[in-house]
Structures are given as C-alpha cells and as structure tokens.
Amino acid sequence: MSTSSRRVREALAWDKLHPLYRDIYRQTFTGEDMGAMIDFYGGSAGQKLLDKMPQLMQNTMAAMQKVIVPMIEQMQRDVAAEMQAPPAPPAPSAPPAAPATPTK
C-alpha cells in the first residue's frame, strides 16, 4: 500500500470520523428527529431505501452526465471560438472636458 493510500485510510478511518459525524448530526437534528430516522431505517421501507441507494446514485450520475457533458463540450467550443476571434477594438475615449468659463 502506498504512503498516500495509507494516509487516506488513516484520515478516513471510522474512529476519526465518528466524532465528526456525531457532532454534525447533533447540530443538525433533534433527538426526536434521530428517533424517527432510527425507526424509519429500522423498518422495511428504510431498509429498501438503503438497499437501493447504490443503484439510485448510479442512475443519478448517469443522468447528470447526459446533462453536464454536452454543457462542458459547448463551453469548450465557446472558449475556443473566443480565443480565435479577433480582439475587440478599444472603446473610443471620451473627448476632453471643456474648461469651465468664469462667471461674472
């Protein structure tokens, strides 16, 4: 195992992340919220959601690629066209202001 892989595993080890997640959940959810989530995920609907989540994420990523890839390709074409376009002429400068005439 490479040094960088080992460092990633150490940084993302559950014993290091557990306190972080606990604090995030504590800041975000009430005890009542947590009880409801435990009940939900302990039931058949929650278990089905957990079982299907990998497929849901895979389907979501595939659908998003269909949107994002053409957008990135169009952005690349736009940048290439801008790079090939001649530079815009400079904006005309404003004529100098006339000196103020003294009042009598």
Query: H or E stretch including 42?
Result: helix 31-42
Rg (C-alpha) for the chain, rounded Å, is 30
Angle at the Cα of 12 (from 6 to 14), degrees rounded to 5?
120
Which token pair is 103? Answer: 């009042």
pLDDT tens for residues 51-89? 999 999 999 999 999 999 999 999 999 999 988 988 878
Q: Which residues have C-beta within 8 Å of that of residue 25, sequence separation ≥ 6?
A: 34
Query: What's the confidence (pLDDT) of residue 104?
Result: 63
Which token pair is 34? Answer: 């947590």
DSSP letters for 1-25: --HHHHHHHHHT-HHHHHHHHHHHH
pLDDT tens for residues 20-39? 999 999 999 999 999 999 99
Are 41 and 47 within 8 A, CB to CB? Answer: yes
| Amino acid residing at 100 | A
